């Protein structure tokens, strides 16, 4: 009988970050400790079908010419029918079913809506399946830039000034929206409130560009942020949640050095476009490093985070300003989150193991807290 831990790896999904999630899956499949873990790869198609995928890292390599996707192969994952079971099965295209066995932990490496926003986390809670990462509340807060800023402002953490715009407001009175935005000064960044990987983001250097930027953002979300441009170094810090009774910990910081582009966009993040360098560790004083680590942990705890997060800052003349908080940050081997932990002494395979072990420790803590006889 196998003593390995069975990990259901969830990736893909309906969001515009589908391919990045697939690329992350490729990285995890290649690096996970196979002596400790058995993996059940579960791909989610763009239409939302849960399929049994190939355990093949090469299939999901990030290639600018052909971004990886989850194709519908006709299989369908059959989730447990109650919280009394953790057994997964799969319905095959010929109509037969095959039992996959019990799953010990789910690793949802999903980015964007319908995955990073609390929806999948809620499904897993209803099924009684332990999972890696933040819960429903933190995931939904972290996904929504408006509410992330609102919460962080409430605990005294500086954020970039912003205006939130609903699609209805823009349609009814674009002039009034522009008047509100003009108080922020130029440049501004126009962002979908609930998207990541810089999808739908535009820099506006002239107010005549605002309508086009709003159209791009509204194509991704019905709620948009117009955010003041902040002058400062772009620095990021990775956070790992602690085991029960332990505090979260923060990595060394990394820096995004933009030299030949308007900002750190999707192509620069994932497709190797020129004009951006990732420097890790960032050159900071001891006091600055201590401050960014303390602020990162405070931000993580403010949204009730668990598992992992990346907190993005601007280092201005007045100090650190939080730009965004990501509860499922880019997790490909070349992403900033693993780079920061590698520079802090934790390799990519070790990072994967740590995330799973921490989630399992919290699951055991939760089970131990239940009344006798209740599972």
Predicted confidence (pLDDT) per residue in 66-91, tens digit: 899 999 999 999 999 899 999 999 99
- Give me the pLDDT at residue 269, please: 54
- Give me the pLDDT at residue 341, please: 97
Give backbone dihedrals phi and psi of 332, rounded to 5 degrees, phi first.
-70, 160
Give backbone dihedrals phi and psi of 10, rounded to 5 degrees, phi first.
-100, 130
Average pLDDT over residues 122-126: 96
**Angle of helix 336-343 relative to helix 348-368, nearest 10 degrees?**
90
- Give me the pLDDT at residue 140, please: 96
Cα(202)–Cα(192) distance, rounded to whole angstroms?
A: 10
- Give me the pLDDT at residue 332, please: 87
- Give me the pLDDT at residue 61, please: 87
Confidence of residue 277 (pLDDT cuts 50, 70, 90): confident
Closest CA to 365 of 228, 245, 227: 245
Average pLDDT, the chain: 92
Asked if residue 299 has pLDDT above 90, the reply is yes
Asked if residue 346 has pLDDT above 60, the reply is yes
Cα(53)–Cα(338) distance, rounded to whole angstroms?
A: 24
Average pLDDT over residues 271-284: 80
Average pLDDT over residues 153-180: 97
Residue ranges of domains in the chain, CATH in brackets = 5-131 (3.40.50.20), 141-158+231-346+354-366 (3.30.470.20), 162-228 (3.30.1490.20)
CA-to-CA dists, residue 258 to 13, 64, 233, 235, angstroms: 30, 20, 9, 11
CB atoms within 10 A of CB 318: 10
Pull the structure tokens for residue 106. 């789910």
Average pLDDT over residues 34-38: 97
Residues 6+ apart with CB under 8 A from 92: 74, 75, 98
- Give me the pLDDT at residue 264, please: 53
Tell me the pLDDT tens digit for each residue of 231-270.
999 999 999 999 999 999 999 999 999 876 455 555 555 5
Burial class (CB in 10 A: 0-12, 13-18, 19+), 41: buried
Cα(32)–Cα(258) distance, rounded to whole angstroms?
A: 32
Q: What is the dihedral of CA 320, 325, 330, 336, to 10 degrees?
A: 20
Average pLDDT over residues 296-315: 97
């Amino acid at each position: 009988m196998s003593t390995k831990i069975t990990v259901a790896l969830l990736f893909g999904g309906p969001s515009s970050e589908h391919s990045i999630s697939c690329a992350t899956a490729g990285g995890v499949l290649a690096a996970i400790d196979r002596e400790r873990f058995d993996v059940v790869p579960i791909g989610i198609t763009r239409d939302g079908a849960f399929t049994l995928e190939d355990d093949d890292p090469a299939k999901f390599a990030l290639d600018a010419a052909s971004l990886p996707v989850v194709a519908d192969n006709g299989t369908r994952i059959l989730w447990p029918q109650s919280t009394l079971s953790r057994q997964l099965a799969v319905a095959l295209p010929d109509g037969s079913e095959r039992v996959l066995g019990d799953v010990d932990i789910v690793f949802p490496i999903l980015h964007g809506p319908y995955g990073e926003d609390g929806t999948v986390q809620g499904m897993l809670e209803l099924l009684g399946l332990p999972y890696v990462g933040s819960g429903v509340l933190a995931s939904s807060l972290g996904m929504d830039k408006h509410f992330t800023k609102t919460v962080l402002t409430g605990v005294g953490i500086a954020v970039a000034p912003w205006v939130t715009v609903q699609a209805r407001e823009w349609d009814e009175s674009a002039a009034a929206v522009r008047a509100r935005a003009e108080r922020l000064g130029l440049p501004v960044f126009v962002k979908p409130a609930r998207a990541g990987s810089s999808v739908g983001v535009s820099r506006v250097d002239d107010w005549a560009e605002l309508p086009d930027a709003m159209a791009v953002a509204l194509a991704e979300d019905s709620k948009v942020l117009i955010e003041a441009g902040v002058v400062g170094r772009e620095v990021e810090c990775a956070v790992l949640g602690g085991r029960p009774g332990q505090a979260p910990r923060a990595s060394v910081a990394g820096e995004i050095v933009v030299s030949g582009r308007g900002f750190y966009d999707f192509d620069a993040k994932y497709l190797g476009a020129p004009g951006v360098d990732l420097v890790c560790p960032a050159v900071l004083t001891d006091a600055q490093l201590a401050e960014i680590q303390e602020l990162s942990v405070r931000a993580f705890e403010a949204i009730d985070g668990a598992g992992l997060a990346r907190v993005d800052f601007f280092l201005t003349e007045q100090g650190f300003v939080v730009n965004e908080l990501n509860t499922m940050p880019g997790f490909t081997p070349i992403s900033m989150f693993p780079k920061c932990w590698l520079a802090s002494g934790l390799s990519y395979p070790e990072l994967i193991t740590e995330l799973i072990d921490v989630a399992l420790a919290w699951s055991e803590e939760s089970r131990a807290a239940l009344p006798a006889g209740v599972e």
